[in-house]
Amino acid sequence: MRTTRTLALVLAFVLTASCAFASTLQDVTKRGYLKCGTHIENPGFSALDSSGKRIGFDVDFCRAVGAATNVDVKYTPLTSKERLPALQSGEIDLLSRTTTQTMSRDTNLGLDFTVVTLYDGQGLMVRKELGITKASELDGATICLQTGSTTELNVADYFRKHNMKFTPVVFDKQPDVRKAYDTGRCDVHTTDVSGLAAQRSLMEKPEEHIILPELISKEPLAPVVRHGDNQWGDIVRWTIWLTMAAEEKGITAENVEKVSKETKDPEVQRMLGVTGTLWQNLGLDKDAPVRIIKTVGNYGDIFERNLGINTPLRLERGYNKQWNEGGLIYAPPFR
Protein backbone atom coordinates (compact mmCIF):
# COMPACT_ATOMS: atom_id res chain seq x y z
CA MET A 1 0.00 0.00 0.00
CA ARG A 2 2.79 2.37 0.99
CA THR A 3 4.68 1.48 -2.22
CA THR A 4 1.61 2.19 -4.34
CA ARG A 5 1.09 5.54 -2.64
CA THR A 6 4.75 6.46 -3.06
CA LEU A 7 4.66 5.62 -6.75
CA ALA A 8 1.51 7.68 -7.16
CA LEU A 9 3.16 10.69 -5.49
CA VAL A 10 6.27 10.36 -7.64
CA LEU A 11 4.14 10.12 -10.79
CA ALA A 12 2.13 13.16 -9.76
CA PHE A 13 5.32 15.14 -9.14
CA VAL A 14 6.76 14.17 -12.51
CA LEU A 15 3.55 15.09 -14.31
CA THR A 16 3.31 18.41 -12.47
CA ALA A 17 6.95 19.29 -13.25
CA SER A 18 6.46 18.29 -16.87
CA CYS A 19 3.36 20.44 -17.23
CA ALA A 20 5.10 23.38 -15.57
CA PHE A 21 7.81 23.47 -18.19
CA ALA A 22 6.12 21.98 -21.24
CA SER A 23 4.36 25.08 -22.55
CA THR A 24 7.07 27.28 -24.07
CA LEU A 25 5.92 26.65 -27.64
CA GLN A 26 2.31 27.28 -26.62
CA ASP A 27 3.29 30.49 -24.82
CA VAL A 28 5.35 31.74 -27.75
CA THR A 29 2.60 30.93 -30.25
CA LYS A 30 -0.16 32.51 -28.13
CA ARG A 31 1.97 35.59 -27.44
CA GLY A 32 2.89 35.96 -31.10
CA TYR A 33 6.58 36.57 -30.51
CA LEU A 34 9.71 34.92 -29.14
CA LYS A 35 11.53 36.57 -26.24
CA CYS A 36 15.23 36.15 -26.96
CA GLY A 37 18.01 37.30 -24.64
CA THR A 38 21.20 38.54 -26.23
CA HIS A 39 24.09 41.03 -25.90
CA ILE A 40 23.68 44.72 -25.25
CA GLU A 41 26.48 45.52 -27.70
CA ASN A 42 28.91 43.02 -29.21
CA PRO A 43 29.54 43.66 -32.92
CA GLY A 44 29.22 40.58 -35.07
CA PHE A 45 27.09 38.85 -32.44
CA SER A 46 24.40 41.30 -31.37
CA ALA A 47 24.32 45.03 -31.98
CA LEU A 48 22.10 47.68 -33.53
CA ASP A 49 22.72 48.72 -37.12
CA SER A 50 22.37 52.29 -38.42
CA SER A 51 18.61 51.89 -38.71
CA GLY A 52 18.19 50.56 -35.15
CA LYS A 53 17.69 46.95 -36.24
CA ARG A 54 19.38 44.28 -34.13
CA ILE A 55 21.75 42.12 -36.15
CA GLY A 56 24.48 39.54 -35.53
CA PHE A 57 25.47 35.89 -35.31
CA ASP A 58 23.58 35.22 -32.08
CA VAL A 59 20.64 37.28 -33.31
CA ASP A 60 20.36 35.14 -36.43
CA PHE A 61 19.78 32.01 -34.34
CA CYS A 62 17.00 33.88 -32.49
CA ARG A 63 15.54 34.75 -35.87
CA ALA A 64 15.84 31.14 -37.01
CA VAL A 65 13.83 29.88 -34.02
CA GLY A 66 11.31 32.66 -34.58
CA ALA A 67 10.95 31.48 -38.18
CA ALA A 68 10.58 27.87 -37.03
CA THR A 69 7.67 28.81 -34.79
CA ASN A 70 6.35 31.39 -37.30
CA VAL A 71 6.42 34.34 -34.88
CA ASP A 72 8.26 37.63 -34.53
CA VAL A 73 11.27 38.04 -32.24
CA LYS A 74 11.69 40.60 -29.47
CA TYR A 75 15.16 41.02 -27.99
CA THR A 76 16.17 41.56 -24.37
CA PRO A 77 19.70 42.99 -24.10
CA LEU A 78 21.45 41.42 -21.09
CA THR A 79 24.76 41.65 -19.27
CA SER A 80 26.70 38.49 -18.41
CA LYS A 81 25.38 38.60 -14.83
CA GLU A 82 21.78 39.06 -15.96
CA ARG A 83 21.58 36.49 -18.76
CA LEU A 84 21.18 33.18 -16.88
CA PRO A 85 18.77 34.50 -14.20
CA ALA A 86 16.65 36.04 -16.98
CA LEU A 87 16.25 32.62 -18.56
CA GLN A 88 15.66 30.87 -15.24
CA SER A 89 12.91 33.32 -14.27
CA GLY A 90 11.07 33.05 -17.60
CA GLU A 91 11.83 36.63 -18.61
CA ILE A 92 13.11 35.19 -21.89
CA ASP A 93 12.32 31.99 -23.82
CA LEU A 94 15.79 31.52 -25.31
CA LEU A 95 19.27 32.80 -24.50
CA SER A 96 21.52 33.32 -27.52
CA ARG A 97 24.45 35.32 -26.13
CA THR A 98 27.94 33.77 -26.53
CA THR A 99 27.35 31.55 -23.49
CA THR A 100 29.93 28.87 -22.75
CA GLN A 101 28.67 25.39 -21.97
CA THR A 102 30.20 24.19 -18.70
CA MET A 103 29.36 21.28 -16.42
CA SER A 104 28.15 23.46 -13.52
CA ARG A 105 25.94 25.59 -15.72
CA ASP A 106 24.52 22.52 -17.41
CA THR A 107 23.78 20.58 -14.21
CA ASN A 108 23.18 23.07 -11.38
CA LEU A 109 21.08 25.88 -12.80
CA GLY A 110 18.00 24.21 -14.27
CA LEU A 111 19.17 25.01 -17.79
CA ASP A 112 19.94 23.00 -20.94
CA PHE A 113 22.53 23.89 -23.56
CA THR A 114 21.38 23.09 -27.07
CA VAL A 115 23.90 22.98 -29.95
CA VAL A 116 27.36 24.54 -30.02
CA THR A 117 27.11 27.28 -32.65
CA LEU A 118 30.68 28.54 -32.25
CA TYR A 119 33.81 26.75 -31.07
CA ASP A 120 35.89 29.49 -29.50
CA GLY A 121 38.61 30.02 -26.88
CA GLN A 122 39.56 32.78 -24.49
CA GLY A 123 42.34 35.05 -25.65
CA LEU A 124 44.42 38.00 -24.48
CA MET A 125 44.72 41.33 -26.31
CA VAL A 126 47.48 43.89 -25.76
CA ARG A 127 48.79 47.06 -27.38
CA LYS A 128 51.46 46.50 -30.00
CA GLU A 129 53.62 49.20 -28.42
CA LEU A 130 54.18 47.00 -25.35
CA GLY A 131 56.23 44.61 -27.48
CA ILE A 132 54.58 41.55 -25.90
CA THR A 133 54.34 38.51 -28.18
CA LYS A 134 53.23 35.71 -25.85
CA ALA A 135 51.18 35.25 -22.70
CA SER A 136 54.17 34.14 -20.59
CA GLU A 137 55.36 37.77 -20.67
CA LEU A 138 52.30 39.06 -18.80
CA ASP A 139 53.45 38.43 -15.20
CA GLY A 140 52.25 41.35 -13.06
CA ALA A 141 49.87 42.72 -15.70
CA THR A 142 46.59 44.49 -15.00
CA ILE A 143 43.76 42.80 -16.88
CA CYS A 144 40.36 44.26 -17.80
CA LEU A 145 37.55 41.72 -17.85
CA GLN A 146 33.81 41.28 -17.43
CA THR A 147 32.31 39.78 -14.32
CA GLY A 148 29.60 37.10 -14.39
CA SER A 149 31.31 35.01 -17.07
CA THR A 150 33.77 32.13 -17.36
CA THR A 151 36.44 34.73 -18.15
CA GLU A 152 37.31 35.44 -14.50
CA LEU A 153 37.97 31.83 -13.53
CA ASN A 154 39.85 31.08 -16.75
CA VAL A 155 42.30 33.95 -16.19
CA ALA A 156 42.82 33.02 -12.54
CA ASP A 157 43.44 29.39 -13.47
CA TYR A 158 45.86 30.27 -16.26
CA PHE A 159 47.99 32.66 -14.20
CA ARG A 160 48.05 30.31 -11.19
CA LYS A 161 49.06 27.38 -13.39
CA HIS A 162 51.98 29.39 -14.83
CA ASN A 163 53.05 30.89 -11.47
CA MET A 164 52.26 34.43 -12.58
CA LYS A 165 50.42 37.26 -10.86
CA PHE A 166 47.89 39.73 -12.26
CA THR A 167 45.57 42.47 -11.06
CA PRO A 168 41.96 42.23 -12.30
CA VAL A 169 40.00 45.34 -13.27
CA VAL A 170 36.39 44.16 -13.37
CA PHE A 171 33.25 45.59 -15.01
CA ASP A 172 29.64 44.45 -15.41
CA LYS A 173 29.32 45.44 -19.08
CA GLN A 174 31.56 44.58 -22.01
CA PRO A 175 31.53 48.15 -23.45
CA ASP A 176 32.95 49.39 -20.13
CA VAL A 177 35.72 46.76 -20.31
CA ARG A 178 36.64 47.93 -23.79
CA LYS A 179 36.63 51.60 -22.87
CA ALA A 180 38.79 51.01 -19.79
CA TYR A 181 41.34 49.05 -21.80
CA ASP A 182 41.28 51.49 -24.71
CA THR A 183 41.98 54.42 -22.38
CA GLY A 184 44.92 52.67 -20.74
CA ARG A 185 43.47 51.61 -17.39
CA CYS A 186 44.86 48.10 -17.89
CA ASP A 187 47.50 46.28 -19.92
CA VAL A 188 45.33 43.43 -21.18
CA HIS A 189 41.78 42.91 -22.43
CA THR A 190 40.54 39.33 -22.17
CA THR A 191 37.43 37.50 -23.35
CA ASP A 192 36.69 34.97 -26.11
CA VAL A 193 38.85 35.55 -29.20
CA SER A 194 35.74 36.30 -31.25
CA GLY A 195 34.70 38.83 -28.62
CA LEU A 196 38.15 40.45 -28.64
CA ALA A 197 37.91 40.81 -32.41
CA ALA A 198 34.47 42.38 -32.00
CA GLN A 199 35.59 44.83 -29.32
CA ARG A 200 38.78 45.72 -31.20
CA SER A 201 36.69 46.74 -34.21
CA LEU A 202 35.11 49.48 -32.04
CA MET A 203 38.35 50.91 -30.69
CA GLU A 204 39.74 54.27 -31.72
CA LYS A 205 42.76 52.66 -33.44
CA PRO A 206 42.09 48.92 -33.93
CA GLU A 207 45.34 48.39 -35.80
CA GLU A 208 47.34 49.23 -32.67
CA HIS A 209 46.17 46.12 -30.80
CA ILE A 210 47.08 42.45 -31.22
CA ILE A 211 45.50 39.25 -29.95
CA LEU A 212 48.21 36.96 -28.56
CA PRO A 213 48.46 33.48 -30.11
CA GLU A 214 47.67 31.47 -26.97
CA LEU A 215 44.17 30.26 -26.17
CA ILE A 216 43.81 29.91 -22.41
CA SER A 217 40.55 27.96 -22.47
CA LYS A 218 37.99 26.07 -24.55
CA GLU A 219 34.79 28.05 -25.06
CA PRO A 220 32.00 26.07 -26.77
CA LEU A 221 29.26 28.68 -27.20
CA ALA A 222 25.65 27.54 -27.42
CA PRO A 223 22.10 28.90 -27.10
CA VAL A 224 20.41 27.90 -23.83
CA VAL A 225 16.86 26.93 -22.81
CA ARG A 226 15.23 26.05 -19.49
CA HIS A 227 15.50 22.46 -18.32
CA GLY A 228 12.34 20.38 -18.41
CA ASP A 229 10.71 21.43 -21.67
CA ASN A 230 12.05 18.77 -24.01
CA GLN A 231 9.89 19.85 -26.93
CA TRP A 232 11.22 23.40 -26.84
CA GLY A 233 14.80 22.20 -26.48
CA ASP A 234 14.33 19.91 -29.49
CA ILE A 235 12.88 22.75 -31.58
CA VAL A 236 15.92 24.92 -30.89
CA ARG A 237 18.39 22.07 -31.50
CA TRP A 238 16.91 20.92 -34.80
CA THR A 239 16.51 24.48 -36.03
CA ILE A 240 20.25 25.02 -35.53
CA TRP A 241 21.13 21.62 -36.97
CA LEU A 242 19.01 22.43 -40.03
CA THR A 243 21.22 25.46 -40.82
CA MET A 244 24.32 23.25 -40.48
CA ALA A 245 22.90 20.47 -42.65
CA ALA A 246 21.76 23.02 -45.23
CA GLU A 247 25.35 24.23 -45.66
CA GLU A 248 26.55 20.65 -46.09
CA LYS A 249 23.89 20.07 -48.75
CA GLY A 250 24.48 23.38 -50.56
CA ILE A 251 21.09 24.80 -49.65
CA THR A 252 20.81 28.59 -49.30
CA ALA A 253 18.14 31.22 -48.75
CA GLU A 254 18.17 31.86 -52.48
CA ASN A 255 17.68 28.27 -53.67
CA VAL A 256 15.79 26.56 -50.83
CA GLU A 257 12.36 26.80 -52.47
CA LYS A 258 13.68 25.41 -55.75
CA VAL A 259 15.54 22.61 -53.97
CA SER A 260 12.44 21.66 -51.98
CA LYS A 261 10.49 21.25 -55.23
CA GLU A 262 13.15 19.52 -57.32
CA THR A 263 15.43 17.51 -55.02
CA LYS A 264 15.62 13.73 -55.39
CA ASP A 265 17.77 13.36 -52.24
CA PRO A 266 15.60 11.49 -49.68
CA GLU A 267 17.30 13.14 -46.70
CA VAL A 268 16.88 16.63 -48.15
CA GLN A 269 13.22 15.84 -48.80
CA ARG A 270 12.79 14.89 -45.15
CA MET A 271 14.78 17.82 -43.75
CA LEU A 272 12.83 20.33 -45.85
CA GLY A 273 9.46 18.86 -44.94
CA VAL A 274 8.67 17.57 -48.43
CA THR A 275 8.19 14.01 -47.15
CA GLY A 276 7.66 12.56 -43.69
CA THR A 277 6.51 14.30 -40.53
CA LEU A 278 9.79 15.22 -38.78
CA TRP A 279 8.81 18.85 -38.22
CA GLN A 280 5.18 18.11 -37.36
CA ASN A 281 6.51 15.72 -34.69
CA LEU A 282 8.11 18.79 -33.07
CA GLY A 283 4.79 20.62 -33.04
CA LEU A 284 5.68 22.78 -36.05
CA ASP A 285 4.16 22.99 -39.52
CA LYS A 286 5.69 21.33 -42.58
CA ASP A 287 6.79 24.68 -44.02
CA ALA A 288 8.99 25.47 -40.99
CA PRO A 289 12.33 24.29 -42.47
CA VAL A 290 11.99 26.26 -45.71
CA ARG A 291 10.93 29.30 -43.68
CA ILE A 292 14.01 28.97 -41.45
CA ILE A 293 16.47 28.82 -44.36
CA LYS A 294 14.73 31.65 -46.23
CA THR A 295 15.03 33.80 -43.10
CA VAL A 296 18.69 33.27 -42.12
CA GLY A 297 20.33 31.10 -44.78
CA ASN A 298 22.63 28.22 -43.85
CA TYR A 299 25.27 28.08 -41.13
CA GLY A 300 28.05 29.21 -43.46
CA ASP A 301 25.97 32.20 -44.54
CA ILE A 302 25.35 33.14 -40.90
CA PHE A 303 29.06 32.87 -40.02
CA GLU A 304 30.40 34.76 -43.03
CA ARG A 305 27.76 37.48 -42.85
CA ASN A 306 28.53 38.32 -39.23
CA LEU A 307 32.01 37.09 -38.32
CA GLY A 308 33.87 36.14 -41.50
CA ILE A 309 36.98 37.51 -43.16
CA ASN A 310 35.00 40.15 -45.06
CA THR A 311 33.57 41.65 -41.86
CA PRO A 312 35.29 43.95 -39.33
CA LEU A 313 35.96 40.87 -37.14
CA ARG A 314 37.91 39.08 -39.92
CA LEU A 315 37.57 35.63 -38.34
CA GLU A 316 38.59 32.45 -40.13
CA ARG A 317 36.23 29.48 -39.94
CA GLY A 318 38.82 27.29 -38.16
CA TYR A 319 37.09 24.69 -35.99
CA ASN A 320 33.79 26.10 -37.26
CA LYS A 321 34.19 24.54 -40.69
CA GLN A 322 31.96 21.66 -41.71
CA TRP A 323 32.99 18.24 -40.41
CA ASN A 324 33.92 17.08 -43.94
CA GLU A 325 36.29 20.04 -44.29
CA GLY A 326 38.25 19.39 -41.09
CA GLY A 327 35.97 21.29 -38.71
CA LEU A 328 33.55 20.42 -35.90
CA ILE A 329 30.25 21.56 -37.44
CA TYR A 330 28.21 18.38 -37.74
CA ALA A 331 24.44 17.88 -37.95
CA PRO A 332 22.86 14.50 -37.05
CA PRO A 333 20.88 12.72 -39.78
CA PHE A 334 17.38 13.91 -40.65
CA ARG A 335 15.55 10.60 -40.52
Mean pLDDT of the chain: 92
Question: Given this model, what pLDDT does residue 150 score?
Answer: 82
Question: Given this model, what pLDDT does residue 17 score?
Answer: 42
| pLDDT (tens digit per residue) in 123-182 | 999 999 999 999 999 999 999 998 877 888 899 999 999 999 999 999 988 889 999 999
Question: Given this model, what pLDDT does residue 172 score?
Answer: 87
Question: Given this model, what pLDDT does residue 125 score?
Answer: 97
Burial class (CB in 10 A: 0-12, 13-18, 19+), 121: middle
For the chain, which ranges sit under pLDDT 70?
1-22
Question: Given this model, what pLDDT does residue 10 score?
Answer: 36
pTM tops 0.95: no
Structural domains of the chain, ranges and CATH numbers in brackets? 22-119+221-325 (3.40.190.10), 122-217 (3.40.190.10)
* 3-state SS assignment for residue 114: coil
Neighbours of 335 (CB within 10 A): 9
Task: Report residue 44 CA to chain centroid gap.
Answer: 12
